Amino acid sequence: MRFIAQGYRAEIDGFRAFAVIAVIINHFNKDFLPSGYLGVDIFFVISGYVITSSLIEKNNKNFFEFIIAFYKRRIRRLFPALFVFVCFISLITCLFNPYSGSSLRTGFVSLFGLSNFYLFKLSTNYFSDAIELNSFSHTWSLGVEVQFYLLFPFIFWFSGLRDQTKKGYKNFFITTLFLSSLSLFLYLYFYETNQSASYFLMPSRFWEISIGCFVFLLYRKRTFFSQLLGKISPFLILILMAGILNLPRSASVIATISITFLSSILILCLRKDTSIYYLFTNKFVVYIGLISYSLYLWHWGVLVISRWTIGIYWWSIPFQILIILFFSIISYNYIENPQKIKIWFISRGRLCFGGSILLVITSSFLSLFSRSVQEYLFLGNDSDPVNTFLLDKYELGIFSYKCHLNKFSLKSLEDCFYNKQSESKQIYLIGDSHAANYFPTIKELFPTYHLNHLTIGGCAYLPSKQITNRLSNGKDNCKLYVNSMRDYITNNAREGDIVFIGQSLRGGLRTNNLYFDHINDLALSLKSIFVPVVLLDGTSAPIGLQKLCTKEFYRPFISEYCQTSRKEVINRFANFDKLAYEYTAKNENLFYAPLRDGLCINDLCSNFTQNGNMIWTDFGHITKNSAKDLVPLLRKRLVNSNFYNYIEKLDY
């Protein structure tokens, strides 16, 4: 059974406009349209629809001709605009971003359709501030589509759908339905276990694009089911979609699934006699849809550069929109539009040759910037709180090559905890890099003690069930570290020694009885020899974009990025505080000393301490000087918890 010829549907481009506008609004201000990022999911559905439509119309005689023609069209569609965007924004990024290496690498791998893998490898949080400061993080969705294109034409050809027969339709439907079901399962599974995988990897996104393929087939076959869905009011569907785009980020799973299926229904019910059809076929709306790829590319680059420079404010938005439109229109008319660029790719051979040459040039260009030239292009102040912090590591032991580790070994234990000063009282500082942050604080408050520390990046003093595969896969030997710390301290600590434990609170993931039981067990094992255990909280930058808080001539407005209330900082981990105080009330040698609000000034938490010291080196690590500013607060917390009363009892 042959399908009915379709032709161009202008309303699909109108739907693209709706999707890209939702994304852009969300990227300007997440609070205004909290789930506007789901416009990308709408794009996935539309892509599935359009790519199936494109392949159905082709009459290639053999598979080789079919596959070459397919990839030629995809390269012509995606690569030229992406290439120009990456080169231009890379140059601008080097001027204003002192940490441009990650952005440049993301841009480089995006040219090969691999930026989603790169972001996943970095364990990037889809909603993190690192995403907002990376000029090319949005290209992850292009990576998903490119990887889908590597698989889909094979399914299309070998299922027999190319022949447009009943058997071919059945084979395609069964194969794609199986893969889509598996993909949806992976999305739901990874969302609970590894959110980076659920968002960035093609296998967990395949189901969204493939649903668009099903929609095309339903639309063309005019089945009873598709005709039934086609009778639904598109106005009602659009209202429901608008409601979903306003859902909070916490509802992302149900929002993603809902927006995907509603997008499918909307494509089926966009009838010519409806108001939404007329809206979506308006010339201006259709044009926005036609340039949506360029809009998607350039809007993010403009916004990221804006964040690194003047910021994004109500008064700046009109100018930023004009800049986005300018570059997008230029990109569409002179780079993206196949009619304009046909001289680039006259033949198959020239396509491969030209594409290879461009990739080589771009690779060399980006490699050069990421290694040496970018430091000469950067227009800002050379002083960097991160570098200042690292220069002090040998003086204080913070993040030292010996005692703050990437991978634990028993040799490290001997090097860092073995102490010949047998007459001195000992302090044992254990945990992750957030524990190491407090090294200067503890050292200054307890000058007569010998301070031992042995910490591991990413691995706190955790119970076995909380040590993830990433931590136990041999990279850092987290389980061995935890067990060795417990054995060493319980066997070697003496009356009057002190144990300090610190850790990142990881968004509250350690706010549970399992973690606190583990901490309490160590305290109980030391209770008989009168060794107190002090639990510290983790530092957490009060603002998300703290890298933007240094003053530069091109960054005149930084206040909105760089401050928040003391109440918000305290409330961020209030449940952790609650459990900590409950456990310390039950055990006389277990104490809690929260310090995260100690660098605030009155009710305002910013990027500088009362003494004018820079606080943050990144999203949660603090400088040496700001750590020293915490000494009075640590003393106060210990006094209020009766820690010194406990210590004084030991002297009698």
276 to 37, 145, 236, 485: CA distances (angstroms): 22, 28, 10, 65
pLDDT recorded at residue 85: 95
DSSP label of 58: -
CB 537 within 8 A of CB 511: no
Q: What distance in Å separates the CA atoms of residue 195 and residue 212, rounded to the nearest whole number?
A: 24
Instruction: State the pLDDT at residue 401.
Output: 45
| CA atoms of 435 and 300, how far apart (whole Å) | 36
**Rounded Cα distance, 112 and 131, in Å:** 19
Q: Which of 253-267, 268-282, 445-459 has the lowest mean pLDDT?
A: 445-459
Over residues 215-225, the pLDDT tens digits come to 988 887 766 66
Do 110 and 186 contact (CB within 8 A), yes or no? Answer: no
pLDDT, average across residues 488-502? 92
The pLDDT assigned to 409 comes to 80
Render pLDDT for 184-207 as a digit per residue (tens, 0 to 9). 999 999 988 888 899 999 999 999
pLDDT at 352: 54
Structure tokens that stand for 143 in this block? 């990576």
Rounded-to-integer distance, Cα 433 and Cα 627, Å: 13
Q: What residues does 536 pair with on adjacent strands?
A: 593
Residue-level pLDDT at 390: 35
The per-residue pLDDT for 533 is 96
Residues in the chain, overall count:
652
What local confidence, expressed as pLDDT, does residue 360 receive? 58
Range with top average pLDDT, 302-311, 388-397, 507-516: 302-311
Rg of the chain on CA atoms, in Å: 29
pLDDT at 372: 62
Least confident of 17-21, 74-78, 402-406, 641-645: 402-406
pLDDT at 229: 77
pLDDT at 5 over 50: no
- Top pLDDT among 184 and 54 is at 184
Is a pLDDT exceeding 60 seen at residue 387? no
For the chain, give the percent of residues with pLDDT over 70. Answer: 83
Given a contact cutoff of 8 angstroms between Cβ atoms, the answer to whether 365 and 87 are in contact is: yes
Residue 396 reports pLDDT greater than 50: no
Band of residue 394 on the pLDDT scale cut at 50, 70, 90: very low
| Residue 561, pLDDT score | 62
Among 156-165, 173-182, 381-390, 418-427, name the one with the lowest average pLDDT. 381-390
Rounded Cα–Cα distance for residues 615 and 625 (Å): 8
Compare 378 and 327 and report the one with higher pLDDT.
327
Comparing 512 with 127, the larger pLDDT belongs to 512
Summarize the confidence of residues 289-309 as an average pLDDT: 95
pLDDT of residue 4: 39
| Dist. CA 129–CA 433, nearest whole Å | 20
- Cα(370)–Cα(474) distance, integer angstroms: 30
Other CB atoms within a 10 A radius of the CB of residue 134 amount to 28
What domains, with CATH codes, occur in the chain?
Answer: 10-372 (no CATH), 385-651 (3.40.50.1110)
DSSP 552: B
pLDDT band, residue 607 (cuts 50/70/90):
confident
Identify residue 176 by its one-letter amino acid code: T
The pLDDT tens digits of the residues spanning 544-590 come to 666 677 778 888 876 566 778 888 888 888 999 999 999 999 999 99
Q: Tell me: the pLDDT tens digits for 97-148? A: 877 888 888 998 999 999 999 999 886 677 777 788 899 999 999 999 999 9
List all residues 6 or more positions away from 524 whose beta carbon is below 8 Å from its beta carbon.
587
Give the least confident one: 386-395, 434-443, 451-460: 386-395
pLDDT higher for 464 or 239?
239
Confidence check: pLDDT of 416 > 80:
yes
* Per-residue model confidence (pLDDT) at position 141: 96
614 strand-pairing partners: 608
Give me the pLDDT at residue 357, please: 64
Mean pLDDT of the chain: 84
- pLDDT classification of 374: cutoffs 50, 70, 90: low
Predicted confidence at residue 254, as pLDDT, reads 95
Q: What are phi and psi of 380, to 5 degrees?
A: -85, -175
Q: How far apart are CA 519 and CA 539, in angstroms?
A: 19
Give the list of residues 6+ apart from residue 586 with CB closer than 8 angstroms, or none: 520
What's the average model confidence in pLDDT over 398-415? Answer: 71
DSSP 337-376: -HHHHTTT-SSHHHHHHHHHHHHHHHHHHHHHIIIIIHHH
pLDDT category of residue 358 using cuts at 50, 70 and 90? low
Q: What is the Cβ-side half-sphere exposure of residue 133, based on CA atoms within 13 angstroms?
A: 23
